[in-house]
Chains A and B, each alone.
Chain A
Amino acid sequence: MSCENAPDSTESVMPRRRRVAEKGICIKCKTNRGRIIIRHAVYCKECFPALIKTKFRGVLDPTVNPSNENAPLRGSLKAAGNLLIGYSGGLGSTVLLDLLRLSYLTPVDQAVGKGGKQHPKKGGKPWNRLIICYIECGGAYPDAADRTAEVEAALESYKGDFEFLPLRLEDAFLNGDDAVVDLSNEDLPVLKRPSAATPLHQLKAYLSSLPTATSHQSAISTLIRLILHRSARAHDCSHLVLGTSLTSLSVSLINAVAGGAGYTIGMEKGEELIAPDGGIVRLVRPLREVTMKECAAYLRWRNLSVIGNKRMLSTPSNGKESIGSLTKDFIFGLERDYPSTVSAIVRTCNKLVSNTTGEKPAQPGIREWKERISIRNALRDNEEISTDAPLEPSDTLTEDSLLLSPYLCYACHTTLISRSSRGSRKTSSLGDQIHQVPLPMWVSENLQASGSRQRRQEMKGEIQEFLLDADDATN
């Protein structure tokens, strides 16, 4: 018996499974009528907010205290620095802010608990400063309005306890040293070209040079993430929190795998960002166990509101959908019809372990791997594929090309040079623009630092046999 394709050649769509929820009483208090169903469990309106708060604190509390031998006593929370909150005006970050205020801004003298060493009161701010960081992304879209004033007005009720830090997406191109990259060359040579362009123009030039809608969306997400990281370091923050829900996290995990960033998804459950001075910023997603549906119900019953974003109504760039938007549609459909599947995605990804530490690593040998897995040229009979060694980067960022490609992960490399709708790079409609694409300011900073590290390692290798061991030096 063989497994054959179904004779019907029309497109098959999985039938939607109709869920019939049982009316009943709340599973928690066993008293009130159930008002919302979350993965087959029914909760009343009174017990539901406490459930969300418990999930929220269950993720965030264990990360507050620095993990060292001088950490405060168990039960009291005291962070090593300040807290930076990534705020977009959307559902997750609105819920996140409300939960932060409810959970951690209770004055100590009003806190619950007997007090003393054995029963410390659970109140007071764990962080010295709480900073709400909003990144205005209107510059990335044509004719998009600046929402900074609207966001600041919406956060009026948080003034006094929170500080507001407005930033812009084009800040990624501030204070740059005019480094540009040639996207027509897969090795991505980086050059220095003086430019009088404003950061906004450089941002637009960078984004318009990207090959696909997916690249565009991915680049914006990366810029936002790195601006938040750098801001956290600049403001002596020990924690950076984001309002990523379970649903959003599932979307970003599947998106990452589809975009070639599967190497780093094991780090999505939490990252520790190590600054050059050794300071650590913990990236935490306290709503990672709360679904979008729960966030929406919480929003309603706590009388919160999101800031509507008209960019959501705009059509995708070039009329084509990105991997991200397709993934989002898929995951949201799953959450409606098969809600347990969404949490299964996150649980499965949590089991992945990264074998590196620090910020998102770049797996080595991307160029060679791409050469092996893709057909680049039509081969004649008996012609063999060339296996030349990859080009090595030169030492300094000068007029001689420094190659960016060896320092990129697969996902970032593909974001810049994906071979799809843009067609052949030589015949690209972008013309000369593609040869001098501005780069975010941290690219040349990191290239120079990598170059310096490499030179130090090379020099150390040359004189290794003459170096004294630490033990020999003390004798």
Chain B
Amino acid sequence: MTSQLTLNVEFGGGLELLFSNQRLHTVSLPSYIPQNLNKSTDGSFDPTQRPANVTFLLNWLKQNLLKEREELFMDGDSVRPGILVLINDTDWEIEGEGDYVLRDNDEIVLISTLHGG
């Protein structure tokens, strides 16, 4: 069991402007959510180890790669409305949204629709 996951993250639709104007990022994440971030739905810390999911990835991106205007990327624990998320070329609504368990070499694409018409 690997302790780290390698993920390919791509930003499009102008969202790359928030991430150093770089579209493609290869990130390395722990396979399991660190204990200090592992919260249950009621806000208490969950003692069971949970595998890294998309919600964890989004917060990691916010903490480590996002350079400005956090409110244009995140809305709470999810992406701001208007951002399409594709997990391995599939709509994340089909894959379980933030609860999708990440696997090694997954491709996550985030496309903003906020650049309008």
Interface residues of A (CB under 8 A from B): 18-19, 21-23, 34-37, 42, 45, 88-93, 242-245, 247-248, 287, 292-293, 295-297, 299-301, 305-310, 312-313, 328-329, 332-333, 335-337
Q: When A and B form their complex, which 4 residue pairs have the shortest distance between CB atoms, in order from nearest?
A: A92-B117, A292-B113, A332-B81, A296-B84
Residues of A near B81 (CB, < 8 A) are 329, 332-333, 335-337
**Does A306 contact B109, Cβ atoms closer than 8 Å?**
no
With both beta carbons as reference points, the residue of chain B lying nearest to A22 in the complex is identified as: B94
A320 to chain B, nearest CB (A): 16
Interface residues of B (CB under 8 A from A): 12-14, 16-18, 21, 68-69, 72, 80-82, 84, 86, 89-91, 93-94, 97, 109, 111-117
Given contacts A88-B117, A93-B117, A329-B81, contact A35 B91 (CB under 8 A): yes
Show 13 residue pairs from A and B whose CB-CB distance is below 8 angstroms, ordered by the A residue.
A23-B94, A37-B91, A37-B93, A91-B115, A92-B117, A242-B117, A296-B111, A297-B86, A297-B111, A306-B12, A312-B17, A312-B115, A335-B81
B32 to chain A, nearest CB (A): 24
A91 to chain B, nearest CB (A): 5
Q: How far is the CA of A37 from the CA of B91 in the complex (A)?
A: 7
Name, among B13, B80, B113, the residue most crowded by chain A CB atoms within 10 Å (CB to CB): B113
**Does A313 contact B69, Cβ atoms closer than 8 Å?**
yes
**Does B113 contact A247, Cβ atoms closer than 8 Å?**
yes
Q: How far is the CA of A310 from the CA of B17 in the complex (A)?
A: 7
**Does A313 contact B72, Cβ atoms closer than 8 Å?**
yes
Name, among A18, A22, A300, A308, the residue most crowded by chain B CB atoms within 10 Å (CB to CB): A308
Residues of A near B89 (CB, < 8 A) are 35, 45, 301
**Does A313 contact B17, Cβ atoms closer than 8 Å?**
yes
Query: Among the listed B13, B16, B94, which residue makes an inter-chain contact with A34, where contact means beta carbons less than 8 Å apart?
Result: B94
Given contacts A92-B116, A248-B117, A296-B84, contact A21 B91 (CB under 8 A): yes
Q: How far is the CA of A297 from the CA of B72 in the complex (A)?
A: 19
A65 to chain B, nearest CB (A): 26
Q: A245-B117, A309-B14, A312-B72 are in contact. List 15 more A-B contacts (CB 8 A).
A: A21-B93, A35-B94, A36-B91, A42-B94, A91-B117, A92-B117, A242-B117, A244-B117, A247-B113, A292-B82, A293-B113, A296-B12, A296-B84, A329-B81, A332-B113
Given contacts A299-B12, A313-B69, contact A243 B117 (CB under 8 A): yes
B38 to chain A, nearest CB (A): 21
